[in-house]
Chain A
Amino acid sequence: MDFSLLPEAMLLTVEITLAAMGIGMVLGVLVVVARRSRFRVLRAVAVVWTDVVRGVPPLVWLMLVFLGIGLFTALGTAIIVFGLVASAYCAEIYRSGLEAVPRGQTEALAALAVPARTGQLRVVAPQAAVIAAPAVLSYAIGLVKDSSLASVIGVAELTFVANRAANRTGDGITPFVTVGVLYLLFSLLLAVAGKLGTQRLEGRWRTR
């Protein structure tokens, strides 16, 4: 197998994962805000979004956007699709985080005449973020592996390169073991970085 292709393939895997995660985490905030909005229409849109996006396999979304809509490059398609899918999952993770913040916090905010938005932003959201962080992290690690689906639409990421090498050389072991190890390393790296980040976020305020 031609190992010189690996750095670029690795970079693509990293790029898809991080870019999609970035999109998902930011867009997820909008979705969860809509989900908790006063306006019924916004809430309905958010519910439909999360259910439809999560209810269809990512591979189908990839094909649909790449072949069906055909407006984006393969890489662009992968980032957009995985980003949108991540937004639905992140929104659900945020929502359960928000719901896990003790009710007493909201009551104290109300009793202290803190405007609702200020309270959500400064008290509820930061605590929800800490609660949600591990789940977001594990979604990101899942995405590292899901990004391999992008090979199907021709993005030359790790799995794509391994597959091509295997077809050319007839050796199915070396390429897939190699990229398998690379996926593993990336996941572990993400887990460690995420753990450190979470601890930082948590700071002192949940230690006893």
Chain B
Amino acid sequence: MEATRPQLAVKDLSKSFGDHTVLSHLDLHLDRGEVVALIGPSGGGKSTLLRCLNQLELPTSGQVELDGQELVAYRGGRAVASSPKALQKIRRQVGMVFQQFNLFANMTAEQNIVFAQRAALGTSKDEAHARARALLDRVGLAHKAGSHPAQLSGGQQQRVAIARSLALDPAVMLFDEPTSAIDPEMRSEVLAVMRELAEGGMTMLVSTHEMGFAKQASDRTVFLCDGGILEQGPSRQLLDEPQHDRTRQFLRALAEA
């Protein structure tokens, strides 16, 4: 049983903001070590889906399971905020990388990573620093440890943000359009880090407009449109031979852009 249980399961998930339905009865499973690319038009619910997984948003209905554990608590039919303790536990296991990086502006790259570990895990000072330096080295930024975010390029900031998220040793990593806010020529350095992470066996759900990354580094691509999954399949297959007109249209528009 253990081997067949998905690491992350989204079950019949819906999310509305007032009258506006963003996600509608969505099902999605990620196996351990699987890398899934989430593509689709802006406003199609990619971001909202990711944010429901670590409870930056609460779903309207449906469930999210991590290793078989239900994450969303319901009371009287409505999703309710988990206790601070439960939330912390979820977020330690589910890392998130943002489009806008969101590094703490008042801390250096190294301090960002040290602070996250100490605040979230209670790591000792020495251990946190050692791990921060090792992670910065891993993303190729050991020489920028003492730089503040404002002194780093977008690509560098995003690599620090990935390192910071990895510092908590998450089981799953969510990426919310990680390269969209970065100059095109700086994107490859971020994508390279992500590719390495994927090859290292991390379970990843990546919302992206980078079809090259989707094709080469992800096992499966999911096309999300109008709040639902229109189609999904092995990345190469889906991107080369999409089955739906809407998917074809989206991919064509992206290629022309």
Contact = CB atoms under 8 A, between A and B. Distances in A.
Interface stretch (B36-44, B97-105, B212-220): B97-105
Contacts of B104: 105, 108-109, 123
By DSSP majority rule, is chain A's interface helix, strand, loop, or mixed? helix
Interface string A107-135: 11111111110110011001100100000
A113 B100 contact: no
Interface string B99-114: 0111111110000000
A119 B88 CA distance: 13
A206 B104 CA distance: 11
Most buried by B among A110, A111, A205: A111
A122 B105 contact: no
A204 interface: yes
B150 A114 contact: no
Contact of B98 (A104, A113, A115): A104
A161 B151 CA distance: 53
Interface in A170-197: none
Interface string A10-33: 000000000000000000000000
Nearest to A118: B119
Interface in B110-160: 115-116, 119-121, 148-151
Contacts of A130: 106
Contacts of A123: 104, 106-107, 115
Contacts of B91: 110-113
Nearest to A108: B102
A205 B92 contact: no
A150 B95 CA distance: 57
B36 to A, nearest CB: 19
B68 to A, nearest CB: 21
Contacts of A102: 102, 105
Given A115-B84, A207-B150, A127 B105 contact: yes
Contacts of B121: 113
Contacts of A108: 98, 102-104, 161
B168 interface: yes
Interface residues of B, number: 32
- Interface centre among B88, B95, B106, B119, by most chain A C-beta atoms within 10 angstroms, is B106
A168 interface: no
A200 interface: no
Interface in B153-191: 161, 164-165, 168
B254 interface: no
B150 A206 contact: yes
Nearest to B90: A113
B208 to A, nearest CB: 18
A204 B84 contact: no
Contacts of B164: 112
A112 B116 contact: yes
Interface in A52-111: 102, 104-105, 107-111
Instruction: From A107, A108, A130, A204, name the one whose CB has the most chain B CB atoms within 10 angstroms.
Output: A108
Across chains A and B, which 4 residue pairs bring their CB atoms closest together, nearest first? A108-B102, A104-B102, A113-B91, A113-B120
Interface of A: 102, 104-105, 107-116, 118-119, 122-123, 126-127, 130, 203-208
